[in-house]
Structure 1
Amino acid sequence: MSELPDGIAEFLGSAGWAGADIAPLAGDASFRRYFRLRSGDAKAMLMYAPPPEEDPEPFLKVAKWLSEHGQRAPQIIAEDAGAGWVLTEDFGDDRMRDWLDVHPAGELGAYEAAIDALVDLHRRPAGPFDPYDMATYLREARLFTEWYCPAAGLDVDAAGFDAAWEEALQPLLERQESGVTVLRDYHAENIMLLGPDEQGHGEQGLIDFQDALVGHPAYDLVSLLQDARREVPRELEAKMLKRYVSASGAGADFAGDYARLGAQRNAKIVGIFTRLHRRDGKPRYLDFIPRVWEAMERDLAHPALSPVAAWFDENIPGTVRADRGGKLA
């Protein structure tokens, strides 16, 4: 029990789980910690989001909203948000990425189900969340110049970077209108397969959605199909994009907006992964940068990104781009 957080026994006792077996699980890129609980035949998942670094209230708010609107978020069993404790339903071990490593034949079915879930979410009115506005898009993209460029020893035009993004994103913002609920980390590590068949069909559960905003429907599609942690074949990306467009009735501008948000998200991720290495001592995230960079280059090739592409041409040396951003000082 020495490695467990202070207060865990008291919280579990108040939740009716005193004496449960506690198994710590591998963490993510945040300060959150996770534990699997078993008590007889019952099982549950415990999240510890310690203040002041973490606040479980956004997770609770989004989880409850998703459950009330037809999405498969984990049910909340007990909570003490002020102390950082949340006890939820246990979705099991079949995380989409890991399951597909063992069952590659189920790739198409699993991605089809994930696309269909997005279509369903986007048909519903947006949730009561903050807007994905220009300031947020720019703040996120700026992680590239704030973290990656210094780490790569590059002296770049940061003001020009912001201006290029603002020019590229303005048409997209005008099309967001009332927006949709954007989960922001909708990808194979955050989708749980709940009893899938061999072809990947079946119910899917959502996790790690506490940063939800109201924004453009292409964002979560990019998260899924340009996955930083899992190689999504180009053919599958194109097929799933077509499936979404057909089912949702997305307009002619959608392909350009998909590229805009792909480039924006991938620039952000390159910055975040660099920060995780340099600030937080987590160098394993550097291994993902070449995949993210490659996707970003594909997005930058779209005419919708011409201002940002011009900035990259002027500020990021060809040797860095040829190496897909993989070498850092």
Structure 2
Amino acid sequence: MTSGPIEIALADEAATILLGEDVALALRAGDVVCLQGDLGAGKTTLARAIIRAVAGDDDLEVPSPTFTLVQSYELRIPIHHLDLYRLADPAELDELGFDEMAERGAVLVEWPENAGDHLGEAALTVRLDHRGAGRLAEVSGGDEAFARFGGSCRIRAFLEANGKRNAHRRHLQGDASYRAYETVVVGGDELILMNAPRQPAGPALRGSRSYAEIVHRALSVHPFVAMADALRERGFAAPRIEAAELDLGLLLLEHLGTGSFLSPGGHPVEERYLEAARLLAALHGRPWPRRLPVHGGAPHIMPDYDRDAMLTEAELFLDWYVPFATGHQPTDAMRSRFHAAWNAVLDQVEDGEKGLVLRDYHSPNIVWREEREGFDRLGLIDFQDALIGSTAYDLASLAQDARVAIPVGLQDRIVAAYAEARQSGAAFDLARLERDFAVMAAQRNSKILGIFVRLDRSEGKPVYIVHLPRIREYLLRVLAHPVLAPVARLYEEFGFTPQEAA
């Protein structure tokens, strides 16, 4: 079915460029976008704006394909720009390889009426007509693509309603979650747009609760808002929230920077990891209320990282990694033994220290800000799933960074830097920290092995598989701790040995 149209008044070329950005942020591989209008209506200007927005390059040379018929761009989404004004016969589209273009990328087509029915159904159609000194754009399309464009228009309206008229938008690579991000540029200032509409809880996993509910995953932006404000109020560098539309899941955030924890060669910079360990010690050295206010919404209550959550996450190892590694599905008996082994281990750490757990405290989620001083050098950007649990969990996340190879020596120095910063506290217990670190690292790495295989097999994201050898090696490091003996014996039966990890 075709939806629309949405009518958009374009006062000038600048407005046409902004429309191109809005289309680009809604674009997906496989989309065919038909650009209609008379000569001089602005079709090429719009196409050029779409291509430059996808490229993230305002100066990219985008010549008109009037004589070549097609220009292709290998970008984040491959873009093929067709101008069919001089097309002699619609059958020539077959010679151009139109079907292949539409299969592997997005296709922008000027003068689509000259193609007859060879284009098939367009994902979006943008018609440009002269209106006085400006233009009127009418956008229609198939239900799915039109819904995407409608969402992009809502973001544009959100920006304009919050004083960001004429803001330029660019795609920003996000995380493995449902959240999407953009860079927003207004008058030379950069902000971050988070687009995270409220998510359904998902199908029931046990009883009436879904996986997300059991493991306490954030399903709206409310927890992010609550934690961002709480962190900033306590002197830590979290993004300032410039504007929010909680019902739509839209947040406009301070841009904390792009500084990395890695050297230009891709190696971990030790001092940055050590400073992150000291920051974590500071986070754990103060009390955190469970009830956090949310401006414009109901208060957020931080949940416990309870036994059910930890076991459900660890079970991803059994559900996804074990079949991947062995070719066999786990039996009911194997599942029962898995639970028994993990319960025996978790029983031994019940007396461990509890505090704030940001949950994904590792290098991709910490911005290094060289020009700042003290802990302000470390910008925290991912904390919406925070809860109250073992303080060793985030230390394990940092010292065994899932996406960066941390040598054993550096791992030990990260833990030592944290311990040294904590030892001024009378209740700090180093032996207990080492024990809890081993257990939390084993639980986290078991979970991540399962998640990365699931992302490959279920969501078609093979990039995560390349991290498996590193995660296996991390897991093997901590399985040697005596507290993990029940789990280590069981994992060995699954073929999880040093030889297998190598």
Same fold (TM over 0.5): yes
How far, CA to CA, are the matches of 1:260 and 1:189 in structure 2? 23
Amino acid across the alignment from 1:205: G
Amino acid across the alignment from 1:324: A
Pair 201,48 (structure 1): closer, same or farther in 2 beyond 3 Å: closer
Say whether the 8 Å CA contact 2:261–2:273 is kept in structure 1. Answer: no
- Secondary structure of 1:96 counterpart: coil
Q: Deviations over 1:140-183 (max 9, x none)?
A: 1011111222333234401111111111012212223xx21100
Map 1:1-329 to 2 at 5 A.
Answer: 1-4=22-25, 5-52=152-199, 54-97=219-262, 100-101=263-264, 107-128=269-290, 129-152=302-325, 153-156=327-330, 157-176=334-353, 179-196=354-371, 203-249=377-423, 250-251=428-429, 252-314=431-493, 316-317=494-495, 322-324=499-501
Stretch of structure 1 that moved more, 247-256 or 156-165: 247-256
Q: Deviations over 1:269-295 (max 9, x none)?
A: 001101111111111101101100111
Task: State percent identity of aligned pairs.
Answer: 38
How far, CA to CA, are the matches of 1:224 and 1:144 in structure 2? 20
Pair 237,271 (structure 1): closer, same or farther in 2 beyond 3 Å: same
- Secondary structure of 2:337 counterpart: helix
Q: Deviations over 1:15-41 (max 9, x none)?
A: 111111111111221121111111113
Pair 7,147 (structure 1): closer, same or farther in 2 beyond 3 Å: same
Pair 80,202 (structure 1): closer, same or farther in 2 beyond 3 Å: closer
Amino acid across the alignment from 2:158: F
The answer for the alignment partner of 2:12 in structure 1 is none
What stretches of structure 1 move > 2 A for 4+ residues in a row?
3-6, 50-54, 100-104, 173-176, 320-325
Q: Deviations over 1:37-76 (max 9, x none)?
A: 1111322111111333652111111111111122211000
Amino acid across the alignment from 2:221: P
Say whether the 8 Å CA contact 1:266–1:293 is kept in structure 2. Answer: yes
How far, CA to CA, are the matches of 2:500 and 2:165 in structure 1? 53
How far, CA to CA, are the matches of 1:201 and 1:121 in structure 2? 11
TM-score by length of 2: 0.60
How far, CA to CA, are the matches of 1:11 and 1:279 in structure 2? 33
How far, CA to CA, are the matches of 1:273 and 1:127 in structure 2? 33
Richer in helix (by share): 1
Q: Aligned residue pairs: how many?
A: 316
| RMSD of aligned Cα (Å) | 2.1
What is the CA-CA distance between 1:244 and the residue it aligns to? Answer: 1.3
- Secondary structure of 1:47 counterpart: strand
Pair 126,57 (structure 1): closer, same or farther in 2 beyond 3 Å: same
Say whether the 8 Å CA contact 2:261–2:269 is kept in structure 1. Answer: no
Pair 67,303 (structure 1): closer, same or farther in 2 beyond 3 Å: same
Say whether the 8 Å CA contact 1:72–1:204 is kept in structure 2. Answer: yes
Pair 146,23 (structure 1): closer, same or farther in 2 beyond 3 Å: same
Bigger Rg, which one: 2
- Secondary structure of 1:3 counterpart: helix
Say whether the 8 Å CA contact 2:279–2:375 is kept in structure 1. Answer: no
How far, CA to CA, are the matches of 1:103 and 1:308 in structure 2? 33
Amino acid across the alignment from 1:149: V
Amino acid across the alignment from 2:244: E
Say whether the 8 Å CA contact 2:236–2:375 is kept in structure 1. Answer: no
How far, CA to CA, are the matches of 1:313 and 1:290 in structure 2? 16
